Chains A and B, each alone.
Chain A
């Protein structure tokens, strides 16, 4: 199956993805608590500005403003009946911007987590999750998205459900998880666990990786964890531009364009093919990242020391892989049946 992304991957060493959605929309006046997806219909010019920001900064791939566009999330705003519409419109505006760019640009339909926990711990069933993701995927497809882009996932079950939904929609997809808890996802998945899971999928992603989480250093440690598993599937890095700070009524991320440029080069040197940002990554960051990727020669795969020296320390001493993978847990008094 060829598509816009597989074609680009076949001809380029690295691709620049986009940056933040929320941070950009807040700067345009999105109110806290307001669903960003409504703006696809209510403020389409703001969404055009968002998309153009990434395209004009040199992104080869950008994501639609549909992260929270599943029935579970939209239900909060009594908009669970608008899943298809909000996704279709979000994707069609993106299609319009991509087609007008005069370059080969991939429109990636953003699919975020449902926010629910899978049974037996929670109440979400596999079939309900597949159904929700599939509904969203059909809207994105109708709006002209080239691929699906599943992101910020914590539970392997949810990632697998999204894969199945992509298959049902007949779409190629990419999927990233968020490694924000001591180098693992909130649910305890390590970078190595994710590779094992991805390799077993019936409808594998075109590329997989990590987004969001805790700063650029942690994200690159996760990339080294992926690379150590030697998967043939291309890797994605979409890290936050530093740490969020509250300033004059706005959230501001403290990572500079220079830091993100450094991060982009190190990501490429770690073997990552698709490089972008997440929260706090603005067009200026993307421009600096593109310029660095184009001008600086490829270096050796960075060590953890190189990463922490260039970008700052890690949030935890271990990420649960390598020598720490089988670290003993708590000593028990006896064994249960």
Chain B
């Protein structure tokens, strides 16, 4: 219906941001890119554009994913739309020295190629303002260590979808302990067969049920770590 057609450039800033939340929810990449360009042209800082339009929009997506209203296909579409917006914002954020939330190294453990959940976490973390280094699938303990040394992240994220691969997380954590590196990182684990008790038993800092929880947990733990360092 032509009555319903939305012209983004006709909207006020407040309306545009709300419309962008809807467009992220619907996974409309081109509309998101247009919205980002409009806000920047109207003098918004890249950081405000990221947090108020994209991150706030992905928070709604994350909450509905957590609550079983949205499922993986919808979230992948939304994340893809957000990536489109991020591609514009990334160089601007770097140029303006916008604050960063922290850095994460993430990967699926050895033997496991199921990376859907891991990819969602990576995208949602980027959406929340974290820098993410994605190691992909099938990571040996050596590969994790190499990336930790090279990237010096705040967080190590490990994912496993199979009961046959989840014990490998303990291999990685035990190696970190042996090398005296365990306390240098926040270790978050996730994947369908995992639970809180398992994460405690293997010595992780937290189990994250889904990508939305991963973002919330990462934010809280990074803030706590920074407070401790400043205390």
- Give the B-binding residues of A (Cβ under 8 A): 20, 22-23, 25-26, 30, 32-36, 72-73, 75-77, 113, 115-117, 121, 154, 180-188, 243-247, 249-251, 279, 316, 318, 320, 329-330, 332-337
Contact = CB atoms under 8 A, between A and B. Distances in A.
Given A32-B164, A330-B25, A334-B4, 18 more contacts: A20-B163, A33-B109, A72-B113, A75-B113, A77-B111, A121-B77, A184-B71, A186-B192, A245-B197, A245-B201, A246-B201, A316-B68, A330-B60, A330-B64, A333-B19, A336-B6, A336-B28, A337-B4
Given A115-B115, A332-B22, A36 B164 contact: yes
A183 B164 contact: no
B9 interface: no
B202 interface: yes
Interface of B: 1, 4-6, 15, 18-19, 22-23, 25-26, 28, 31, 60, 64, 67-74, 76-77, 80, 109-116, 137-138, 140, 161-168, 170-171, 192-195, 197-198, 201-202
22 contacts: A32-B166, A32-B168, A32-B171, A33-B110, A34-B111, A36-B164, A76-B137, A113-B114, A115-B115, A115-B161, A116-B113, A121-B77, A181-B68, A188-B70, A188-B72, A245-B195, A246-B202, A279-B193, A333-B18, A334-B4, A336-B26, A336-B28
A154 B117 CA distance: 13
Given A181-B71, A333-B18, A32 B165 contact: yes
A94 B115 CA distance: 31
Contact of B198 (A34, A75, A116, A246): A246
Contacts of A335: 1, 4
B168 to A, nearest CB: 4
Contacts of A75: 113
Nearest to B64: A330
Contact of A186 (B60, B71, B137): B71
Contact of B5 (A121, A246, A332, A337): A337
B111 A32 contact: yes
Grouping DSSP codes into helix (H, G, I), strand (E, B) and loop, the B interface class, with mixed when no group exceeds half, is loop
A334 B64 contact: no
Contacts of B194: 244
A148 to B, nearest CB: 20
A249 B1 CA distance: 61
A333 B165 contact: no
Contacts of A181: 68, 71-72
Contacts of B28: 336
A116 B15 CA distance: 38
A251 B202 CA distance: 11
Contacts of B112: 33
Contact of B73 (A36, A188, A316): A188
Contact of B168 (A25, A33, A182, A320): A33
A30 B162 CA distance: 14
Contact of A243 (B74, B164, B195): B195
B163 A251 contact: yes
A121 B164 contact: no
B192 A180 contact: yes
B113 A76 contact: yes
A17 to B, nearest CB: 18
Given A333-B22, A334-B6, A335-B1, A26 B164 contact: yes
Given A244-B198, A246-B197, A115 B113 contact: yes
Contacts of A77: 111
A332 B82 CA distance: 18
A337 B110 CA distance: 45
B69 A32 contact: no
A22 B113 contact: no
Contacts of B19: 333-334
A32 B167 contact: yes
Given A182-B68, A184-B71, A245-B197, A33 B202 contact: no
A18 to B, nearest CB: 15
A22 B23 CA distance: 42
